[in-house]
């Protein structure tokens, strides 16, 4: 589990670094410009890292399934070599997925100018300014994306159905609590990742607007990688103690924080 958490941490750091620094620099310099090479890099890196994170989360669901449903076979099924192979497959799949989107996006002729209504080079915004004659090729890329996402989602769902069945059969309440506490951080991260992504790309067109699209994109591109370390660290007793200490100090000094503590 810690090996996969290491991979997830690297991915989250890369996801934040792909979009946020450039957006902050543009905000400080009061500009919205980005070079062509920078745009290509963002178009490749963002789907590459997001898809790799999804694949890693799928592998982590399998890890939890083996740990809880088949604990006696954990060492043989998920040894160091098997973990390295699954992580390498996730990273390799992410690279291929990123290359697929990058090649498809920048092979389309642009007919609507070179301005996108987003704080980074997001693929749907670039496709909006491309010529419609290549929509069939984009459709097949979308089909591949939906198929991959659905397969991973079904695998995660099946794994947790088996996990919950096994946990509910445990005679010991302490054992059930330990099993649930092991799975809940991963379940929270998966739910956050999937819900923000689904809302971004499947929201009704009737509620779509440039300002809402900007907020929603910031939520799914920035919020999951920012919150993931905190979610997985909540089982750490030292972190819990530090958070309680900070909250207690803020409550004792509430007069210094009128924005948060209004009388």
- Over residues 119-168, the pLDDT tens digits come to 788 887 787 777 765 566 667 777 888 888 899 999 999 999 999 898 88
- Calculate what percentage of the chain has a pLDDT beyond 70: 84
Q: Identify the pLDDT of residue 263.
A: 44
- Residues facing residue 130 across a β-bridge: 110
C-alpha 85/C-alpha 6 separation (Å) is 15
Mean pLDDT calculated for residue range 186-198: 82
**Does residue 197 register a pLDDT over 90?**
no
**Does residue 214 register a pLDDT over 50?**
yes
The DSSP line for 13-28 is HHHHHHHHHHHHHHHH
C-alpha 208/C-alpha 200 separation (Å) is 10
**Does residue 80 register a pLDDT over 80?**
yes
Helices (H), 29-134: 36-69, 74-77, 80-106, 123-128
Instruction: Please provide residue 35's backbone torsions phi and psi, each rounded to the nearest 5 degrees.
Output: -70, 160
**Does residue 259 register a pLDDT over 60?**
no
If pLDDT is split at 50, 70 and 90, which confidence band does 208 have? low
Q: Highest-confidence range of 1-10, 148-157, 251-260, by mean pLDDT? A: 148-157
Q: Identify the pLDDT of residue 260.
A: 47
Better-scored residue on pLDDT, 134 or 213:
213
Task: Write the DSSP symbol of residue 110.
Answer: B
C-alpha 84/C-alpha 130 separation (Å) is 40
Q: Identify the pLDDT of residue 52.
A: 95
- Indicate the SS3 state at residue 130: strand
Burial (0-12, 13-18, 19+ Cβ within 10 Å), 263:
exposed
Q: Which two tokens stand for residue 185?
A: 């951080």
Q: Identify the pLDDT of residue 84.
A: 92
Q: Which two tokens stand for residue 33?
A: 């410009």
**Residue range 224-255, pLDDT digits in tens:** 888 887 777 766 666 667 667 777 776 676 66
Buried b (16+ CB within 10 A) or exposed e, 121-144: bbbebbbeebeeeeeeebeebeee
C-alpha distances (whole Å) from 36 to each of 4, 26, 27, 95, 109 are 34, 15, 19, 20, 14
**Residue range 39-78, pLDDT digits in tens:** 889 999 999 999 999 999 999 999 989 988 888 888 888 8
Q: Identify the pLDDT of residue 217.
A: 78
Q: 104 and 141 in contact (C-beta within 8 Å)?
A: yes
**Residue range 22-43, pLDDT digits in tens:** 888 888 887 777 888 888 899 9
Task: Determine the distance from the C-alpha atom of residue 108 to the mean position of all C-alpha atoms in its chain, rounded to a whole number.
Answer: 27
What mean pLDDT is reported for the chain? Answer: 81
Q: Identify the pLDDT of residue 137.
A: 66
């Amino acid at each position: 589990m810690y090996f996969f958490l290491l991979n997830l941490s690297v991915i989250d750091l890369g996801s934040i670094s792909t979009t946020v620094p450039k957006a902050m620099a543009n905000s400080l310099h009061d500009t919205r410009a980005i070079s062509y090479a920078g745009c290509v890099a963002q178009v490749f890196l963002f789907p590459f890292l997001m898809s790799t994170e999804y694949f890693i989360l799928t592998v982590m669901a399998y890890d939890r399934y083996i740990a809880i449903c088949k604990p006696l076979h954990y060492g043989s099924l998920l040894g160091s070599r098997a973990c390295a192979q699954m992580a390498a497959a996730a990273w390799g799949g992410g690279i291929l997925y990123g290359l697929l989107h990058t090649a498809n996006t920048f092979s389309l002729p642009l007919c609507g100018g070179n301005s996108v209504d987003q704080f980074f080079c997001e693929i749907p915004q670039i496709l909006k300014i491309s010529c419609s004659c290549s929509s069939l090729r984009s459709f097949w890329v979308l089909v591949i994306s939906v198929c991959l996402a659905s397969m991973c989602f079904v695998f995660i769902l099946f794994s947790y159905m088996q996990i919950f069945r096994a946990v509910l059969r445990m005679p010991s309440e302490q054992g059930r609590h330990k099993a649930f506490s092991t799975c809940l951080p991963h379940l929270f991260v998966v739910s956050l990742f999937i819900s923000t992504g689904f809302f971004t790309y499947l929201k009704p067109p009737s509620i779509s607007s440039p300002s809402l699209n900007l907020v929603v994109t910031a939520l799914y591109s920035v919020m999951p990688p920012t919150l993931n370390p905190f979610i997985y660290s909540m089982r750490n007793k030292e972190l819990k103690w530090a958070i309680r200490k900070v909250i207690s100090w803020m409550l004792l000094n509430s007069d210094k924080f009128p924005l948060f503590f209004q009388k």
